[in-house]
Chains A and B, each alone.
Chain A
Amino acid sequence: GAGVSQSPSNKVTEKGKDVELRCDPISGHTALYWYRQSLGQGLEFLIYFQGNSAPDKSGLPSDRFSAERTGGSVSTLTIQRTQQEDSAVYLCASSLSRGRSYNEQFFGPGTRLTVL
């Protein structure tokens, strides 16, 4: 079966423009996560969805960042008025939600965002 897919794989934009990143999770996975990763670094948690709701938005770095999920499936992460410090790889992951505390998260390949 298909894994987590993300689009675009690469995005170059100019400072001040808005960008939209898309994540298609594994079918049947109810939990979806967005992370940000700077070059060669660990992952910074951004937001978590359970179904269509986002119980934890604590990681969003500013109000320029927003995310939504529709139909319990596809999610989009929107960055408004992009800044150069937004340049990073944005990773999406999904997992089953069976109530265990350690469900495996399956990651997509990421979207590399470059803000000029």
Chain B
Amino acid sequence: TQLLEQSPQFLSIQEGENLTVYCNSSSVFSSLQWYRQEPGEGPVLLVTVVTGGEVKKLKRLTFQFGDARKDSSLHITAAQPGDTGLYLCAGAKPGSARQLTFGSGTQLTVLP
């Protein structure tokens, strides 16, 4: 059972466009993290959100945690080829804080 559903699974856009990636679940998470992974490497943490409704910005990336702490979104403004990669959301369930449940990932390709 996939507890975290990510959409879209694949996304190919032109440089300069905006995009949003979604991470949804029926479960409540105590925290949610977003990672980016490039080929041949392990995932690298981008952000952690903890509070329902929380919004965090990292340069052109905006992360939001849903009010009910069941979903999250990642919005990228003016995408660049360097944003290309596999974006993964990962949630920590209450009581199992150190075990992360990962989503299936969104493969983003930004074309120059």
Contact = CB atoms under 8 A, between A and B. Distances in A.
B69 to A, nearest CB: 12
B88 A107 contact: no
A57 to B, nearest CB: 11
Given A102-B92, A104-B48, A109-B41, A45 B98 contact: no
A102 B42 contact: no
Interface residues on A, range: 20 to 34
Contact of B107 (A40, A50, A105): A40
Interface of B: 2, 4, 6, 30-31, 33, 40-45, 48, 50, 86, 88, 90, 92, 96-105, 107
Identify the interface centre among A41, A44, A50: most chain B CB within 10 Å of its CB: A41
A41 B105 contact: yes
Identify the interface centre among B41, B98, B103, B107: most chain A CB within 10 Å of its CB: B98
B61 to A, nearest CB: 17
A107 B102 CA distance: 14
A31 B44 CA distance: 17
A56 interface: yes
A103 B42 contact: no
Given A109-B42, A110-B42, A40 B86 contact: yes
Nearest to B94: A101
A116 interface: no
A83 interface: no
Contacts of B98: 31, 48, 50, 56, 95, 97, 101, 103
